[in-house]
């Protein structure tokens, strides 16, 4: 089945992605800023500071070399750009550092990783999958930096698909709320609001990380598939819902 590189592998969605791709028979090369979680089903795990990778070319070359060594000549079926930072501040409070951190990790790191592994991806007729967000299209207060970065990531997905043509497919998924440990912790002691968020989705539920991960596997499957430059919603129907105060 070949290898798959997954960034942000230590988080709730990242761990689900690792499980799903391993279940599908892929050898997973995982990265994150922190140490590997227990029992993560990755063949190789690299602690990687994606922001530093964008800023420091020497560091970037070392990270890419380490991952390439882990590939050991095997085909690279997919690069899954899942890592992201989410800095929630009002527009009058966002600093230059907030913006640089957000854009470096959420937009530039996915580009430079894809650029670095283009030879391997093209050789395997592989694919890049960017995990964007519903905030690329629909957002709310305090999400200016995050929403802007995800809109840029979705736009970059389309532009790279045009640029790379048939050599490497590039697609994105835009999830809405996903029931990770981090999301649930944000509603600790406030189950009423959590239930309200669930019910606001036409599906009647918040997204499941394992369902999202299986969808990601399906999007990256089948070399030469016609699906290319697609930005796919995974939102329980909430993107079609009008929130009207009346």
Per-residue pLDDT reduced to its tens digit, 94-107:
999 999 999 999 99
What is the Cα–Cα distance from 45 to 32, expressed in whole angstroms? 8
pTM summary value: 0.96
Phi, psi of 101 (to 5 degrees): -60, -45
pLDDT at 57 over 70: yes
- pLDDT tens per residue across span 197-234: 899 899 999 999 999 999 999 999 988 889 999 999 99
pLDDT score of 246 more than 60: no
Residue ranges of domains in the chain: 3-177+208-237
Radius of gyration of the chain (CA): 18
Exposed, middle or buried by CB within 10 Å (0-12, 13-18, 19+), for 187?
Answer: middle
pLDDT band per the 50, 70, 90 thresholds, residue 183: confident
User: What is residue 189's predicted lDDT score, i.e. its pLDDT?
Assistant: 81
Render pLDDT for 4-34 as a digit per residue (tens, 0 to 9).
999 999 999 999 999 999 999 999 999 999 9
157-208-226 Cα angle (round to 5) = 35
Q: What is the pLDDT of residues 122-175, one digit of tens each?
A: 999 999 999 999 999 999 999 999 999 999 999 999 999 999 999 999 999 999
* CA atoms 37, 40, 44, 50: torsion sign: negative
**CATH number, domain 3-177+208-237:** 3.40.50.720
What band does 39 get if pLDDT is binned at 50, 70 and 90?
Answer: very high
Q: What is d(CA 2, CA 4) in angstroms, rounded to the nearest whole number?
A: 7
The first and second tokens of residue 68, run together, are: 């390439």
Q: Where are the alpha helices (DSSP H) in the chain?
A: 12-23, 50-55, 57-71, 96-103, 109-116, 118-123, 144-164, 181-186, 191-200, 209-220
Report DSSP letters for 72-122, one per residue: TT--EEEEEE---------TTT--HHHHHHHHIIIIIHHHHHHHHTHHHHH
């Amino acid at each position: 089945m070949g290898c798959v590189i997954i960034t942000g592998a230590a988080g709730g969605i990242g761990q689900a992605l690792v499980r799903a791709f391993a279940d599908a028979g892929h050898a997973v090369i995982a990265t994150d800023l922190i140490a590997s979680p227990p029992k993560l089903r990755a063949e190789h795990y690299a602690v990687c500071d994606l922001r530093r990778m964008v800023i420091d070319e020497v560091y970037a070359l070392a990270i890419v070399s380490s991952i390439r060594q882990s590939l050991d000549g095997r085909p690279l079926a997919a690069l899954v750009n899942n890592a992201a930072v989410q800095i929630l501040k009002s527009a009058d409070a966002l600093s230059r550092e907030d913006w640089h951190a957000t854009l470096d990790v959420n937009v530039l790191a996915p580009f430079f990783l894809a650029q670095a592994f283009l030879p391997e991806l093209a050789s395997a007729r592989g694919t890049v999958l960017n995990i964007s967000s519903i905030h690329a299209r629909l957002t709310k207060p305090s999400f200016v930096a995050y929403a802007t970065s995800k809109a840029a990531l979705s736009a970059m997905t389309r532009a790279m698909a045009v640029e790379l043509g048939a050599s490497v497919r590039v697609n994105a998924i835009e999830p809405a709320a996903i029931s990770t440990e981090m999301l649930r912790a944000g509603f600790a002691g406030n189950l009423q609001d959590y239930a309200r968020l669930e019910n606001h989705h036409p599906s009647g539920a918040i997204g499941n990380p394992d369902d999202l991960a299986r969808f990601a596997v399906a999007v990256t499957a089948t070399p030469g598939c016609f699906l290319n430059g697609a930005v796919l919603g995974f939102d329980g129907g909430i993107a079609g819902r009008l929130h009207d105060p009346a």
